[in-house]
Every structure is written in structure tokens, then in C-alpha cells.
Structure 1
Amino acid sequence: MDNSPSVLDPPEQVWHTRWNRRLAGQIAVLLLANVLADTVIVTPMLVLPQILGHFHTDQAAWISSSAMLAGAMLAPLFGKSADIHGKRRMLVVALLVACAGGLICLLAPTLWLFVLGRLVQGAAVAGVFLTVAIVRDLCTPRVAMTAVGAVTTGAGVLSVVVNVSVEQLVAQSGFRVVFLVSASLAVIAVVLVRSLVPEPATRTAGRVDIAGAVLFGGGVTALLAYISFVPDLGWSGPGALALLGAGVAALAGWFRTARRVPEPVIDVRNLGRPLVLTLLVVVLGTGAVQCMDQLLSVIAQVSPDQRLGYGFDARGSLSLLFGIPAIGIMAGGLISGWVAARFDPSAALAAGVVTGTVGAVGMFSGASSFHGAIAFAVLLNLCLGTLLVSGFNMAAVLAPPERQGVTASLVTVMSATGSVVMSFVGAAVLAATDVVVDGTVVNSATGVHGYIGVSVGVFAVAVVLAFFLVARRRQF
């Protein structure tokens, strides 16, 4: 008996063949779902020092990256479930789960309950690729290229308004208001998605590999915990080695499972070289970009009067520091969609990582200048928008219709994993180079510049891989 997945007989699908009012309305609704992801990932960076102070901890990486980590772990489950049960249905589920996470963070009395809430909020990250999959099911391929750019990166403009408003609310009500706003947006998005966005017709028969997802997620989490706690446990301490061994064993078990089960959560057997190169560029490039948000959140509130060799005291202007560069995400997404529709997504991907490399190098000077930080952050966000949209478009070009959901989820897995790994590595670099000034432990200039140097090195590798991908695509 043939147990391979098959495409279910769907009702007739009516595609958008051009931009129109109805498509614009649907894009706007899906865009709101992605604004929610922005309030989960970026907006808490505005209040990261307040959160660290409230819970008396220095575990910035866990607070800033736990939602992204959970998003990476949940994405394959949501992707496979979306292909089987419906993309709109799973988007609604993701939004409701993210709402619950926001409420946990709002009420959490302890740090680790707060981190649990951040992990639950990570479902919003999985929602991003679901909006992409829905768009590709509602539009013809040519229209979808630019529509994907609009729905994934248009949140950059709206986030400026949201972050300015949230910063003012935080000044009046404290940092927890960030999570009240996030939960409220999730409820609004659920109502609008159910009312205005149709359920795409394409479905696939099959089942979800929950065991594989648990092994993959547990393995990555254990390795990140190893990186995070090395400054306290030591590289070869018993606790650190236990985390390292557990992570390696879980990932090895996942890999063996993925090669044996008929429908693994991540099908390593069907990853062609172009898709592998695409995913590597995405994981390296997005990680190198997004870890800068964590760094900027820390150094932006350091006064130049402290003479640490970095810092520009942007308190009161944090919404501008994070909001204005976010416009670059939208610009990068729209430009890369245009390039992909006329040439190839690989060309946009290569241009994106080159732009990001310039932005990362510029951060050596931007670490001490508010205006410089904004300018180079715009380039980094331009790169991020390009990478996300080009990654989704490349995955869509390389995947059949019945596997769009799970393939798009791989892009989310890679972007989230890259962000989390780089954030933990950067936090470890900062922790290892702390200095004591006037009896207070602070980050050193060596640590800050080393953090930026790691990002530049990762970008350099991504550039090489991106040009390999372009060369391979030109052969066909």
C-alpha cells in the first residue's frame, strides 16, 4: 500500500491574478498578524534593561530570544499541520497561543515563569510563515512574489507607530504593558483573519511527526542552554557537559528518525543543494542581523559620560532607534519581491547579505553614535527584509504546492535558529569580557566590538554561500 502523502481534492481555487482592493484588504489583515510577531520579538527589546532589573538577572539572551527559540521549534509542527488541516486554521491557533503567552508574561511573578510566557509567545513567530503560505495559495506566482514582500515586511512601518505608543505607555505603566498590547493585538488579529481571509484550498493527507519535533526542539534548546550557562558552569563542568551531551544525543536521534519515518517533521531526504544553500544563507544572515537588536538595546542606554568606549544614551528615543530602521525591512522585502519576480530570488538574497555586511561593519562606529547606529541599522534591516522574503520565495520556487507550508516553515526555523544562536553567542562574548568600573560590572568595549566582529565574520561566510547559490541557479 502506498503511504506517501497525497494532495486532497480541493474545491476550485480562485487566484488573484493582479493587485485589487480585496487582495489589499487580505494583505492588511495578514500584515496585522505579522505586527503581532514584531511586538513579541522586537518591542520587548525596548524594555529589556527594565525586565532584567525587575527580575534581578543578567540572562538577557533567554529573555530576548526565548520567543524566537520557541518559534523555531514550533514552526515545523505548524507547517506540517497547516498542510494537513488548513493554513488559516493553524494561523488562528498560533495567534491564540501567542495571546496566552502574552498574558503569562503580563502576570508572571518570577523570571522562569516569565520565560515560559515568552516561549509560549513564540507561536507568533510561526504565524509569519503561515501568512506567507496563505498569500502564495491566494495569488498567482508572479503576484505572490511582491505580495509576500508586503505581508512579511510591511510590519516595519506599522512597528514605528506601535513602538512609539508602547514606549509612552511604558513610561506611565511599566514594562508589562508591552505584553498587554501584544495579547490585545492577537485577539484583534484572530477576529479579522477569521472574518476576511479565506481558507486556502490546497491540503495534503498525512500525519504530524511529534516525536521528531520534540527531539529537534529539545536538542537545539539544550545546546543553546549550554552556550548560555558556560560563563557560570565552565566549558567542561559536569552540568555544562550534561547539557551538551543531551543536545547532541537529541539531535542525533532526530536525524535518525527523520531518515526513517515516512513523514518526518523536517524531511532531510528531500533537501536539494539549492534549498540547503538558501537555508544556510538565511540562518547565517538573519542571525547576524537580529542579534544586533539585543546589542543595541544594551548599549543604547549607556551614557558617553561613562567613557566605556561605546554608548550614546538613547533613553527616550528607543522607539526611534528600533522603529526607523524597521522601515528598511519593508523596503528590503518589497525590493527583493520585485527582483525575484523579474530575475531570480537568489540574486536578491545575494544582494541582501552584501548590504548586511556593510551595515555590520558600520556598527563599529555606530556603537558610539545615535545617528550612526540608526543609519547602519537601516542597512541591517534592509538586509533582513531581503533575506526573509527571498528565503520564502526561493523555498516556494523549489517546493511543490502540497508542501508549501512545511517548506516555508524551514525558512522560519533557520531565521529563528540563527537569531537565537547568535544572540546566545553574543551574550557569552559580552559576559566573558565584563569589566568592573567603580564597583559595578559593565560590558567592556572589547566585548561590544568583539560581538560586532562575530557578526561581520558570519556575514562573510553568508556572502560566499549566497554567490555559490546564484552561480548554481544560473546553470539551470
Structure 2
Amino acid sequence: MSTPSHAAATAPRRRNETVIVFALSLAAMVVSMMQTLPVPILGLIRTDLGTSTAGVSWVTTATLLSAAVFTPLLGRFGDQHGKKPTLVAVLGVMVAGSVIAALATSLPLLILGRVLQGAATAIFPLALSVLREEVRPQKLPGAMALVSGTLAFGSGLALVATGLLTSGSDADYRDAFWMATGFAVLALLAVALLVPAPRHKTGGRTDFLGALTLGTALLLLLLPISQGHEWGWASPRTLGGFAGAAVMTAVWVLVERKVDEPLVDMRMFVHRPVLMANLAGILVGFGMFANFLGVSYLVQMPEALTGYGFDASILRASVQFLLPGAIISLLASPLGGRLVSRRGPRAALGLAAVLGAVGFAWLALDHRHSASVIGAGLVVGAAVSFGYAAMPAVIMASVPHHQSGIANGINSISRSTGSAIGSAVVTTILASRTLDHLPPGVPPLPAESGFTLTFGIGAAAFALVAVISRFGLRGGHTTVAAAEPAAADHSGRPTDKAVRTDTADAAV
């Protein structure tokens, strides 16, 4: 039985935990909004700035590439020099980027704003590191799941909010970026006022050479992935980018094995739970974007010309078909946290795999009824939320305290990479499968088989997540060991104490 003094001491801490989780969840939601914000308004931007389709695609690509470069670097920087100062600085950069994007009168200025917005993706791994320090062990899985769940919710919310702001005949795409500025300022104030100063700093020198080589490798990988449908998948630029990525990855590994304080410890990077979490991140990120883009394009198809679709406007597509899944993602995140706490992240990842495969299979088999499209979207939304709840828990239980920022940063990049692949795959499939008999003057429209194939690939992606949860994390479920920093040897490699397993739970 707790004494009055003990209750008085723990009550403020519980209130502090609540406000910390709220502030970090808000920051993570705002960051995820930045990623999908311009998707519904690319046509307006192209018309207003007088640019080409290839040019306006850089509005989304720039954010992805910026995130790839800055997330691992800032995640490690926060571990070394303080997470709150890094969070506040990154949010300040996001505010500046949002203002520049809202005021931009040319494509280069808009792209600059988007680059600064993309740098804020580092908020997510930093937020998880703060949670590891400030939240009690028994509450940590739920807190991480809630912050993770805001990622999918924020992505969907941005689509809906942008659709609402630009639904009129005199729509101005800049309104969406002013909205982003307001959210960014709100997140900055919440973190500055509600998140405590850091208690742990590892110090040391920042591995800028490792950051440079890793960033270059990611740029060379993600650039052809995101632009391949414009350049041509067999073009010299695309193939050269992939070849350059392979070379720079080898250079990065050599650099990290030579420096005294590497950005990424290679043994941590290939530690099986961490590696499996990153592979799952690619697949879940792929599934989330395949769902967003596939459903958005599907419901906007003119049924009179194609024989399928719902003739939906951008606003209707966002509110009726995408928003329910985003809301479910947020509501499901506490359930994912409870599942991680009671059964471990392996069980949560297995459930995510089953739900995702079922949801996409449902879409592939029946996408001609609005109830089916919405219902399947709800199932996929829950799957993404459970997957996002599981991956940080695997990471946190598998790496030492001083590597949690960089480890979650790499996992964040894996999800962004999966999203880029999902966008590229959906775009390529729909562009390659078009209807033959359309009236003169009508632009090419995708055949229904393109959507069926897209959703079938989404189901296969989540089936692979099931394989990872069943065999990649085999040996029992991993639980978050957050009562004290995970143990590590002198090299920073996680020791056996960093990963605890419960062999009683052998099945997902």
C-alpha cells in the first residue's frame, strides 16, 4: 500500500508523463503531416508556378531526401548533446521551412522550404529517446505506441485538411502551407514548454564523415526510386543512381568500421532484431503509401469512362475514404501499446501482418463498393498502427541507451524508404496499365487491373511482415527493458542483457 508521501511524489510524475507524451505525439503528428501535405495540391502548384509534372514532383521528393540525410545525423546528435535542445532546434527549422513554402513564388524557393520541413523527420526518433528517459517502464510501450500511431494519423489528416482548404474554385495551395506553419508553431511551443531538459548526454564527437557517406548513399538510392517513373527505370540516370548507392553503401560501411566513434555501430545495425525491425519498417511504410495513393486514385476515377471508380473529388476522397482509416490508426495505437506490453512486439507485428494482408486482399477482390473500400481502409489503418507500435519496442529493447536515437532514426528512414518505394510502385503500375479505348482528347487513365495488382502487392508486403514476425523475431517475444539503460559492452554492441525474451510466448 502506498504511503501518502509516496502518492504525492508519484502524482506529479504521472501528470508529467501525460503532458510529455502529448507534446511529443503532437510533434510527431505534425512531422508526418509535412510528408503528405502537398500530395493533393501538386496540380495546383504546377499550374500556379508554371512548372512541369517532373518539376513539381520535387516538392515531395525534396522532403524525402532531406529526411534521409538529416534524420540519422540529428538522431545521433541528440543522443550526444541533448534531445530537447535538438528537438526545439529541429522544430524551429520546420517552422522556417513552412513559412518559406507559404511565401514562395518560385519552385526553387518552395523546394527549399520542403527541404527544411523534411529535416524535421528527425523529431520521431528523438521523441522516442525522450520517452525512454522520462516514462516509467510499465507505461513505455503504450507511450511509444501512441506517438507512433500519430504518424499514420497525421499523414491522413494532412490529406483531409489540404482537401478542405483547397476545395473552392479560387483555391490557393499556399493556404495549406500556412496551416502547416500554425501546426509547426504549436508543436514547437508544446515541446519547449512541456518536455523536460535531458538527463542523459553521451557527449563525444559527431561522425560527420559517416553522416556524409550515409546521406550520399541514401540520396543515390531514394532519388532513382522517387524519380524512376519520370526518368525511365532502365535509363542511365536511374541505373547509375542505384549503382552509385551500392558503391557509397560499401564506402559508408568501411568508414564506420574505421572511425573511433561511428555514427552507426555496424554490429548494432545487423543485430537481428534491429535488422528485422528495419525490414518490417520498409514493408509497413510501403503498405501505408500503397493504401493512401491506391485508394485516392481509385475513388477519383470517372466511372462513365472507366467502368469503375466513384467520381470522387479530392475533398470527398480524403474525407470519406481516407480519413476513417487515419482515425482508426490513432485509436488503435493504445491497443497496440497494450499488446506490446502484454505479449511483446512480436505479437503486435504478427497481428499487423494479418490485418494488413486481409485488408489489401479485401481491396483487391472488391473495390467497386464504397463500403468495401472504407472497410478495408479501416483494417489497413489498424495494421499500420500495430506495426508502428511494434517496431520502436523492438529497437528500444535491442540497443543500448546511447544508441536509441540513431537506431530509431535508421528505422524511421526505413519506413520513409518503404513509402518512397510504395509511391514509385503505385505510380509505375498505374501508368503502365492504361485503358485502350477512350474518347479523343481524354488523357490516359489506368485500367482496373492496375489497382487490383497494386492491392495484391500490398497484401504480399504484409505477408512478408508475417514471415519476419514468425521467423525473424523467433525465440519468444521481446519486451522493452526500459527500467534502466540497456547494457552494452565497451564497443557499444548490445549485450545479452539488452534483449530479454520470454520463451513462454513461442507463437504469434
**TM-score with structure 1 length normalisation?**
0.87
Distance 1:57 1:263, change over 3 A: same
Shift of 1:349: 1.2
2:417 & 2:141 partners in 1: Cα distance?
Answer: 24
Distance 1:212 1:429, change over 3 A: farther
Aligned to 1:274: 273
Shift of 1:321: 2.7
Shift of 1:119: 2.9
Letter in 2 for 1:203: K
Distance 1:348 1:458, change over 3 A: same
Aligned to 2:456: 453
1:25 maps to 2:19: yes
Shift of 1:128: 1.8
Residue of 24, 28, 36 corresponding to 1:42: 36
Letter in 1 for 2:415: S
Residue of 124, 131, 144 corresponding to 1:128: 124
Letter in 1 for 2:146: A
1:470 & 1:238 partners in 2: Cα distance?
Answer: 39
1:76 maps to 2:79: no
Shift of 1:49: 4.4
Aligned to 2:296: 297
Matches within 5 A, 1:365-384: 365=365, 367-384=367-384
User: Which has the higher mean CA deviation after the structures are superposed, 406-415 or 40-49?
Assistant: 40-49
Letter in 1 for 2:358: V
Aligned to 1:3: none
User: Which has the higher mean CA deviation after the structures are superposed, 438-447 or 402-411?
Assistant: 438-447
2:215 & 2:227 partners in 1: Cα distance?
Answer: 18
**Does the aligned pair in 1 maintain the 2:99–2:181 contact within 8 Å?**
yes
2:476 counterpart SS class: helix
Aligned to 1:10: none
Matches within 5 A, 1:334-413: 334-365=334-365, 367-413=367-413
Distance 1:230 1:181, change over 3 A: closer
**Does the aligned pair in 2 maintain the 1:135–1:147 contact within 8 Å?**
yes
1:77 & 1:16 partners in 2: Cα distance?
Answer: 35
Matches within 5 A, 1:302-321: 302-317=301-316, 318-321=318-321
**Does the aligned pair in 1 maintain the 2:34–2:118 contact within 8 Å?**
yes
2:202 counterpart SS class: coil
1:108 maps to 2:108: no
Identity of aligned residues (%): 24
Shift of 1:441: 2.2
2:310 & 2:47 partners in 1: Cα distance?
Answer: 19
Aligned to 1:93: 89
Shift of 1:245: 2.8
User: Which has the higher mean CA deviation after the structures are superposed, 157-166 or 85-94?
Assistant: 157-166
2:109 & 2:294 partners in 1: Cα distance?
Answer: 24
Distance 1:234 1:36, change over 3 A: closer
The structure, 1 or 2, with the larger RCO (C-alpha pairs under 8 Å, 6+ apart) is 1
Residue of 466, 471, 478 corresponding to 1:468: 471
1:441 counterpart SS class: coil
Aligned to 1:427: 427
**Does the aligned pair in 2 maintain the 1:430–1:444 contact within 8 Å?**
yes
Letter in 2 for 1:25: V
Shift of 1:422: 2.1
Matches within 5 A, 1:317-328: 317=316, 318-328=318-328
**Does the aligned pair in 1 maintain the 2:285–2:422 contact within 8 Å?**
no
1:129 counterpart SS class: helix
1:65 & 1:361 partners in 2: Cα distance?
Answer: 29
Distance 1:473 1:115, change over 3 A: farther
Letter in 2 for 1:468: F
Letter in 2 for 1:467: R
2:128 & 2:306 partners in 1: Cα distance?
Answer: 46
Letter in 1 for 2:252: W
1:304 & 1:199 partners in 2: Cα distance?
Answer: 56
Cα RMSD between the aligned structures? Answer: 2.9
Which structure is larger by alpha-carbon Rg, 1 or 2?
A: 2
Residue of 195, 199, 202 corresponding to 1:201: 199
Distance 1:235 1:48, change over 3 A: closer
Structure 2: tracts of 5 or more residues without a match: 1-8, 478-500, 504-508
Matches within 5 A, 1:48-197: 48-51=42-45, 54=48, 55-57=51-53, 62-64=58-60, 66-111=62-107, 113-154=109-150, 166-172=162-168, 173-197=171-195
1:383 counterpart SS class: helix
**Does the aligned pair in 1 maintain the 2:124–2:409 contact within 8 Å?**
no
Shift of 1:111: 4.1
**Does the aligned pair in 1 maintain the 2:99–2:113 contact within 8 Å?**
yes
1:265 maps to 2:263: yes
Distance 1:322 1:123, change over 3 A: farther
**Does the aligned pair in 2 maintain the 1:350–1:470 contact within 8 Å?**
no
Deviations 1:390-449 (A, max 9, x none): 111111111222222122212212111111122123222223334563331222323332
**Does the aligned pair in 1 maintain the 2:32–2:154 contact within 8 Å?**
no
Deviations 1:198-238 (A, max 9, x none): 02201112222222223222223223333444455444443
**Does the aligned pair in 2 maintain the 1:33–1:127 contact within 8 Å?**
yes
User: Which has the higher mean CA deviation after the structures are superposed, 164-173 or 274-283?
Assistant: 164-173
Shift of 1:41: 2.2
User: Which has the higher mean CA deviation after the structures are superposed, 228-237 or 325-334?
Assistant: 228-237
1:472 counterpart SS class: coil
2:204 counterpart SS class: coil
User: Which has the higher mean CA deviation after the structures are superposed, 156-165 or 84-93?
Assistant: 156-165
Shift of 1:169: 2.7
Distance 1:144 1:77, change over 3 A: same
User: Which has the higher mean CA deviation after the structures are superposed, 352-361 or 66-75?
Assistant: 66-75
User: Which has the higher mean CA deviation after the structures are superposed, 335-344 or 65-74?
Assistant: 65-74
**Does the aligned pair in 2 maintain the 1:16–1:140 contact within 8 Å?**
no
Distance 1:53 1:430, change over 3 A: farther
**Does the aligned pair in 2 maintain the 1:72–1:126 contact within 8 Å?**
no
1:471 counterpart SS class: coil
**Does the aligned pair in 1 maintain the 2:149–2:333 contact within 8 Å?**
yes
1:212 counterpart SS class: helix
User: Which has the higher mean CA deviation after the structures are superposed, 451-460 or 345-354?
Assistant: 451-460
